[in-house]
Amino acid sequence: MDEEKVLVFDPLYCTGCMYCVTACSTYNNGATSLSKSRIHIVRHEGHAITKMTDEDDLIFDMICCQQCDQPYCLYLCPALAVERNGDTGALIVNHDKCVGCRMCMVGCPFGAILYDPNRKQIVKCELCGGEPQCVKFCASGALQFLPKNLAHLPKRDRLARKMIQLRARASEEKPL
Amino acid sequence: MTIEPMNVEKPKRFIVLGNGIAGISAAQAIRRLDKEANITIISEEVHPAYSPCVLPDYISGKISRERVFVRTFPDYSKENIELITSVKAIALDPDRKRIILKAGSAAYDKLIVATGSKPIIPPIHGTNRKGVFTFKSIEDGDSICRWEGHTAVVIGSGPIGVEASLALRRRGYQVFLIELLDRILPQIFDEYPASLIKDALKNSGIDVGTKEKVVEILGGGKVEGVLSDRRKIKCDTVILATGMKPEKGFVEGILEQGKLGGIKVNDRMGTSLQDVYACGDCAEAQSLIDGQPILSLLWHNARQQGVVAGSNAAGILRTYPGSLNVTGVEVSGLKAISIGSIGAGLESDLEIIEVKRNEGYRRLILSKEVLVGVQSINWDENLGLFLAAILRKEKVKTYQDLTSSRKFLLKPLRQFPFGRKLNRVASRG
């Protein structure tokens, strides 16, 4: 079996263009609506956690379903509507079963589950059946869909670059 | 040269009593761990498994009857689980490992008792009249849907009582909700949030009476009214929602009982008899908050217990972290959620943090600086954070402590039984 893939987001590359959000809502709702997108880009200003340089004080972060290994949504659902897809590993809402009680929203620690008031049902990121549109349309390469065993690579890359910067700065301040 | 076959172990026989969520979760867990096992679910009911939690939605007409069912008959055979319906087990022979059915008997290697709960019929006169309903099984739902009434009295204001009132209101009934204690939802909400819910119920047209005791259900063959210590209500329908008790059936007297009347289980869902496990509403497990015995009677706890019981029966050790209350009620636009314990239930060293925001209200209950409960009205966001904090027994000083730092989310929860890799995690111990 192929290794399951996961969404990987690198805030360093995100420009906040919202292409992913647009693609998500268009693909999944048939209409472009920022509020109906299953992926969200949040803008941080000033207090960026992952500050790379001193000038860099605007950063974007991505909020989306993490397809948890220990999903509260699955555990709280009274209608057994949240299921794990065996192929993609995504947590899928079965709309034939969902009654719209929103207990999964109560349980989700990320706020990544949406309620569709028209259908009176829950919608969440289901990885577009294994081919996430947000990744396809990501303009800057911040979003990637990587096998689990490679998911750490962007992070390692970023840390390595930060270390190089720090070393460079340290050698400037205190020449050996 | 012929190769001698290895000593092949005979597939184990698992019998699950009860086709509720605990029973099917246990059967599924066994199937995931043991592909060869013979798994049989014996049920007294005629239906495949259904969710009593969504029964109010069915009665109010929001969803169709089929949607109440969470499984279909082919689902069982797909997983190679045998389902025997409308068969009652009447006795147990633990020495010979046989379960005696109404017709015949069956041998088991491991038995899982998941017989669930049944409604408590309060000791008042007239509960056998026509038009008096309980609110648990799909048959109850069907008969309420068939019944043509106009005025209903709901006795008891737990989640079932409140949801039944709302469902009947949506069916066009005039509804009276009567509670013996001083507030509605007494087990899951403290006084102030309960009063907010009460106001919302009143706004949606339900007459709520608290501190009121029902004395008698009046009428002849049919219900004609309800007499309380305060008034006489003319009605044609009565819903008894005074609580649930474990349905122990024939195992009563065979398996040791806890002090709350459930089947006493340890943290592996094992009972006093070897190779017999109990899970779901009939089991008396410990509370996640304080470790005291508790009858949880909630869907997600039953599901969790089913997985634990099934895994242990299949030979994989797994412990149950404890039961936790997570309940939500939605009353005409007001969404009330209660997680964990309430202030009224715990006595010592309680600290209460109350936060208000526009129309939202939140009440955090801390015991010895550890978060043990949250009640939230009209304020959905971040609730999962509190659930995670309660499960991790997180120490909290202020409200902002919890909402600003989410570091504790990174701490793994070892005992959460819904991990995906059930096999692997379990065998690691």
pLDDT tens for A98-118 read 888 888 988 888 888 988 888
Residue B257 tokens, joined:
């009982």
**Per-residue model confidence (pLDDT) at position A1:** 46
Which among A144, A173, A35, A81 has a CA at the least distance from the CA of B51? A81
**Per-residue model confidence (pLDDT) at position B6:** 61
Q: What is the CA radius of gyration of chain A?
A: 19
- A34: which residues sit within 8 A by CB, 6+ positions away? A18, A21, A22, A25
Would you call A55 an interface residue with chain B, using a CB distance cutoff of 8 Å? no
**Per-residue model confidence (pLDDT) at position B226:** 94
Q: Is A107 in contact with B299 (Cβ distance < 8 A)? A: no
Which of helix, strand or coil describes residue A113?
coil
**Per-residue model confidence (pLDDT) at position B108:** 93
B contacts of A99 (beta carbons < 8 Å): 54, 57, 62-63, 67
Residue B28 tokens, joined:
């599924």
Closest chain B residue to A107 measured between Cα atoms?
B384
Q: Is A101 in contact with B330 (Cβ distance < 8 A)? A: yes
Taking phi over 0 as left and psi of -120 to 50 as alpha, with beta for the rest, B37 belongs to beta
On the question of pLDDT at A57 being above 70, the answer is: no
Name the pLDDT band for A58 (thresholds 50, 70, 90): confident
Would you call A99 an interface residue with chain B, using a CB distance cutoff of 8 Å? yes
The pLDDT tens digits for A4-42 are: 899 999 887 888 899 999 999 999 988 888 888 999 998
Residue B52 tokens, joined:
């009593």
User: Beta-carbon neighbour count of residue A168 at 10 Å?
Assistant: 10
Tell me how far apart the alpha carbons of residues A41 and B233 are, in angstroms, rounded to a whole number: 56
Angle between helices B299-313 and B21-33 (to 10 degrees): 30
Residue type, A154: P
A contacts of B421 (beta carbons < 8 Å): 69
In what side-by-side order are the strands of the sheet with B350-357? B326-331, B334-340, B370-377, B360-367, B350-357
Tokens 């992913």 correspond to A20
Interface of A with B in 110-139 (CB under 8 A): 110-111, 120
**Per-residue model confidence (pLDDT) at position A2:** 63
Tell me how far apart the alpha carbons of residues A55 and B387 are, in angstroms, rounded to a whole number: 38
- C-beta pairs of B354-358 under 8 Å, 24+ apart in sequence: B354/B192, B355/B399
Which among B143, B187, B139 has a CA at the least distance from the CA of B161? B187
Closest chain A residue to B324 measured between Cα atoms?
A76
B190, B353 in Cβ contact below 8 A? no
Which of helix, strand or coil describes residue B205?
coil
**Per-residue model confidence (pLDDT) at position B271:** 93
Q: Is A80 in contact with B335 (Cβ distance < 8 A)? A: no
Distance (Å) from the alpha carbon of A32 to chain B's nearest alpha carbon: 24
Please give the full DSSP string across B53-72, using - where no structure is assigned. Answer: GGHHHHHTTSS-GGGGBS--
B417, B319 in Cβ contact below 8 A? no
Would you call B399 an interface residue with chain A, using a CB distance cutoff of 8 Å? no
Top-level CATH class of B132-242? Answer: alpha beta
**Per-residue model confidence (pLDDT) at position B427:** 37
Residue B386 tokens, joined:
């509190």
On the question of pLDDT at A120 being above 80, the answer is: yes
B385, B403 in Cβ contact below 8 A? yes
Q: Is B406 in contact with A109 (Cβ distance < 8 A)? A: yes
B35, B131 in Cβ contact below 8 A? no
Ranges for all domains in chain B classified under CATH 3.50.50.60: 13-118+245-313, 132-242
- Give the CATH number of domain A1-64+131-176; options: 3.30.70.20, 3.40.50.620, 3.40.30.10, 3.30.1490.100: 3.30.70.20
Which among B314, B289, B313, B316 has a CA at the least distance from the CA of B301? B289
**Per-residue model confidence (pLDDT) at position B424:** 40
Q: Is A97 in contact with B67 (Cβ distance < 8 A)? A: yes
The segments of chain B whose pLDDT lies below 50 read: 421-429
ipTM exceeding cut-off 0.90 for this assembly: no
Residue B137 tokens, joined:
């099984």
Mean pLDDT of A34-55: 72
Higher per-residue confidence, A154 vs B284: B284
Which among B88, B124, B380 has a CA at the least distance from the CA of B250? B88
**Per-residue model confidence (pLDDT) at position B429:** 31
Has B235 been annotated as catalytic? Answer: no
Residue B405 vs residues A126, B252, B322, B399, B402: alpha-carbon distances, Å:
28, 49, 26, 11, 6
Would you call A76 an interface residue with chain B, using a CB distance cutoff of 8 Å? yes
Ranges for all domains in chain A classified under CATH 3.30.70.20: 1-64+131-176, 67-124
Report how far Cα B257 is from the mean position of its chain's Cα atoms.
19
Closest chain A residue to B386 measured between Cα atoms?
A109
- The phi, psi pair for B78, rounded to 5°, reads -60, -35
Tokens 């929602």 correspond to B241
Which of helix, strand or coil describes residue B199?
helix
B contacts of A117 (beta carbons < 8 Å): none
The pLDDT tens digits for B18-36 are: 999 999 999 999 998 888 8
The third-level CATH classification (topology) of the domain covering A67-124 is: Alpha-Beta Plaits (3.30.70)
H helix or E strand, kind and range, residue B154: strand B151-155
Of A84, A97, A109, the CB nearest to B388: A109
DSSP B308: H
E-only strand ranges, B179-292: 206-209, 214-219, 223-228, 232-234, 237-240, 244-246, 263-264, 276-278, 283-286
The third-level CATH classification (topology) of the domain covering B13-118+245-313 is: FAD/NAD(P)-binding domain (3.50.50)
**Per-residue model confidence (pLDDT) at position B416:** 57
Tokens 């009347």 correspond to B261
**Per-residue model confidence (pLDDT) at position B332:** 81
On the question of pLDDT at A47 being above 80, the answer is: no
E-only strand ranges, chain A: 5-9, 40-45, 58-63, 82-84, 91-93, 114-116, 121-123, 143-147
